[in-house]
A and B are shown apart, each in its own frame.
Chain A
Amino acid sequence: MLLQRKTTAALLAASLALFAASCKKKAPVAPPPPPPAATSAPTTTETTRPPAPVVASFSAEPTAIQRGQSSTLRWEITGNAASVSIDQTIGNVQNTGNRRVFPGENTTYTLTATGPGGATTASATVNVTSPAPPPPPPDTGGANKGTPDARLASAVQDVYFDYDKSDVRGDSQSVLQQDATALKAILADFPSLTIVVEGHCDDRGSAEYNLGLGDRRASSAKDYLVQLGVPAERLQTISYGKERPQCTDENESCWQRNRRAHFSAGQ
Chain B
Amino acid sequence: MKKPVFIALIWALSSLALTSNLAAQDFKGNIVGGSKVKIAVPDFRGSAGAPALMSTFNQTLWGDLVSAGLFDLVAKTFYPHPIPQQPSDFGAATMASWLNPPVQASYLTFGYGATQDNLFVLRGWLYDLTRGTPAQAQALAKNYIGSMDDAGARKTAHEFAADIIALFGGKSLFGTHIYYVHQAYAGAPKEVWVMDWDGSNQHQISRYNGLTIQPSVSSDGSHIAFVSYAKRTPGIVVFSVDPLRDLHFYNQMASVNSSPAFTPDGKQVMYSSSAGGRCCRLFLANLDGTNFHPVTHSEFIDTEPKINPKTGAQVVFVSGRSGPQQIYQMSIDGGNIERLSDGTGEASNPSWHPNGEIIAFAWTRGFAAGKFNIFTMDVASKRYNQLTHDEGRNENPSWAPDGTHLAFASTRGGRSQIYSMLANGTEAQRLTSDGLNFSPVWGK
Contact = CB atoms under 8 A, between A and B. Distances in A.
A209 interface: yes
Nearest to B45: A32
A204 B279 contact: no
A52 interface: no
A254 B144 CA distance: 56
Contacts of A237: 255
Contacts of B112: 29, 31-32
B330 interface: no
B5 interface: no
Interface residues of B, number: 60
B410 interface: no
B369 interface: yes
B318 A209 contact: yes
Interface string A238-259: 1110010000101000000000
Nearest to A206: B348
A4 B351 CA distance: 39
A37 interface: yes
Interface string B308-320: 0000000000101
Interface string A172-196: 0000000000000000000000000
B135 to A, nearest CB: 13
Interface stretch (B22-30, B62-70, B81-89, B239-247): B81-89
Contacts of A3: 140-142
Contact of A239 (B45, B190, B279): B279
B86 A28 contact: yes
B213 interface: yes
A208 to B, nearest CB: 5
Contacts of A35: 45
A212 B346 contact: no
Nearest to A32: B47
Interface in A29-55: 29-32, 34-35, 37
A211 B254 CA distance: 13
Interface string A10-30: 011001101100100000111
A206 B318 contact: yes
A216 B370 contact: no
Contacts of A30: 47
B109 interface: no
Interface string B407-433: 000000010000000000000000000
Contacts of A37: 81
A127 to B, nearest CB: 28
A113 interface: no
B290 interface: no
B232 A238 contact: yes
Contact of B280 (A19, A212, A218): A212
A208 B53 CA distance: 44
B304 A239 contact: no
A213 interface: yes
B272 A203 contact: no
Nearest to B409: A207
B143 A19 contact: yes
B372 to A, nearest CB: 7
B301 A212 contact: yes
B329 interface: no
Contact of B139 (A2, A11, A238): A2
Contacts of B81: 34, 37
A204 B142 contact: no
A31 B112 CA distance: 7
Nearest to A250: B370
Contacts of A6: 142, 163
Contacts of A211: 227, 234, 256, 258-259, 303
Contacts of B280: 212, 215
Given A208-B258, A216-B278, A31 B143 contact: no
Contacts of A163: 369
A164 interface: yes
A105 B82 CA distance: 72
B438 A207 contact: yes
A236 B121 CA distance: 62
B166 to A, nearest CB: 9
User: Which of B143, B279, B348, B362 counts the most A-chain CB atoms under 10 A from its CB?
Assistant: B279
Contacts of B318: 206, 208-209
A15 B143 contact: yes
Given A212-B279, A216-B279, A205 B325 contact: yes
Given A29-B114, A208-B348, 10 more contacts: A3-B140, A15-B143, A19-B143, A32-B47, A34-B85, A205-B348, A209-B303, A211-B256, A212-B272, A240-B211
Across the A-B interface, the 5 shortest Cβ-Cβ residue pairs = A204-B370, A206-B348, A212-B301, A215-B279, A29-B114
25 contacts: A6-B142, A6-B163, A15-B144, A18-B143, A32-B47, A32-B112, A34-B85, A163-B369, A206-B304, A206-B346, A206-B362, A208-B272, A209-B303, A211-B227, A212-B256, A212-B272, A212-B280, A213-B279, A213-B301, A216-B278, A218-B255, A236-B255, A239-B256, A243-B213, A248-B186
